[in-house]
A and B are shown apart, each in its own frame.
Chain A
Amino acid sequence: MTNAITLDSIGKAYQIGVRAPGEDGLAAAIRSTLTAPIRNLRRLSGAEVDARTFWALRDVSFEVPQGQVLGIVGRNGAGKSTLLKILSRITEPTEGSARVRGRIASLLEVGTGFHPELTGRENVYLNGAILGMSRAEIDAKYDQIVDFAEIEQFLETPVKRYSSGMFLRLAFAVAAFLEPEILVIDEVLAVGDAKFQKKCLGRMREVSRGDGRTVLFVSHNMATVQALCDRCVLLDKGTLKADGKPAEIIERYHDLAAGRASTVYDLSNRAGAWEFGTGAAMVTRVEIARARDGAPSAFFASTDEIELRCTVNAREPADAFRIAVIVKRADGTPVGASFGPDACSLGAGETGTFRVRLGDFALAAGTYSCELKVGKGNPAEGRTEFDAVDDVAHFEITPETAADGSAGYWEPAWGAVRFQAGETERIA
Chain B
Amino acid sequence: MTQAATHAPATDAPPPAPELRELVIEPKRGWIGVDWGELVRHRDLLGFLIWRDFKVRYKQTVLGLGWAILQPVFFMLVFWLVGASAGIDTGGVPKPVFYFAGLLPWTFFAVGVQLSSQCLVNQQHLLTKVYLPRLFIPTSVIVVGLIDLAVAGVILAIIMGVYQVVPPTQIAMVVPLGVLLLGFTLGVGYLFSSLTVAYRDLRYIVPFFVQAMMFLSPVIYPVSIFGDTWAWVLKLNPMTAIIESFRAAVTGTPIDWLGLGMGAGVGVLTLFVGLAVFRRIERRFADIA
Given the known interface contacts A96-B26, A99-B24, the answer about A109 and B3 at a Cβ–Cβ threshold of 8 Å is: no
- The interface stretch among B14-22, B70-78, B110-118 is B14-22
Task: Judge whether A20 and B283 touch: CB under 8 Å.
Answer: no
Task: Judge whether A118 and B52 touch: CB under 8 Å.
Answer: yes
Q: B1-40 CB contact bits vs A (8 Å, 1 = yes)?
A: 1111000000101010100111111111000000000000
Task: Judge whether A106 and B283 touch: CB under 8 Å.
Answer: no
Chain A residues lying within 8 Å of B56, measured Cβ to Cβ, are 115, 117-118
The minimal Cβ–Cβ distance linking A319 to chain B, given in whole angstroms, is 60
Given the known interface contacts A101-B22, A102-B21, A115-B52, the answer about A95 and B27 at a Cβ–Cβ threshold of 8 Å is: yes
Q: For window 362-378 of chain A, which residues contact chain B by CB distance below 8 Å?
A: none
Task: Judge whether B42 and A92 touch: CB under 8 Å.
Answer: no
- The interface stretch among B100-108, B180-188, B196-204 is B196-204
Task: Judge whether B44 and A134 touch: CB under 8 Å.
Answer: yes
**Interface residue? B131 (CB, 8 A):** yes
B47: nearest chain-A partner, CB-CB: A135
Q: B156-172 CB contact bits vs A (8 Å, 1 = yes)?
A: 00000000000000000
Q: For window 103-121 of chain A, which residues contact chain B by CB distance below 8 Å?
A: 103-104, 106, 108-109, 112-113, 115, 117-118
**Interface residue? A88 (CB, 8 A):** yes
Task: Judge whether A117 and B25 touch: CB under 8 Å.
Answer: no
Task: Judge whether A99 and B22 touch: CB under 8 Å.
Answer: yes
Q: Which residues of A contact B (CB under 8 A)?
A: 1-2, 14, 20, 22-23, 25-27, 29, 66, 85-104, 106, 108-109, 112-113, 115, 117-118, 122, 125-126, 129-137, 179, 181, 211
CA distance in complex: A125, B127 (Å): 19
Chain B residues lying within 8 Å of A132, measured Cβ to Cβ, are 42, 45, 132
CA distance in complex: A25, B198 (Å): 8
A-B contact pairs, 29 of them (CB 8 A): A2-B11, A22-B198, A22-B199, A22-B288, A26-B199, A26-B201, A87-B25, A89-B23, A98-B24, A99-B25, A101-B22, A101-B23, A102-B21, A106-B131, A108-B130, A109-B125, A109-B129, A113-B130, A115-B56, A118-B56, A126-B48, A129-B49, A130-B48, A130-B126, A130-B130, A131-B130, A132-B45, A134-B44, A135-B44
The CB with the most chain A CB atoms within 10 A, among B55, B131, B288, is that of: B131
Chain A residues lying within 8 Å of B200, measured Cβ to Cβ, are 25
Given the known interface contacts A93-B25, A125-B48, the answer about A117 and B60 at a Cβ–Cβ threshold of 8 Å is: yes
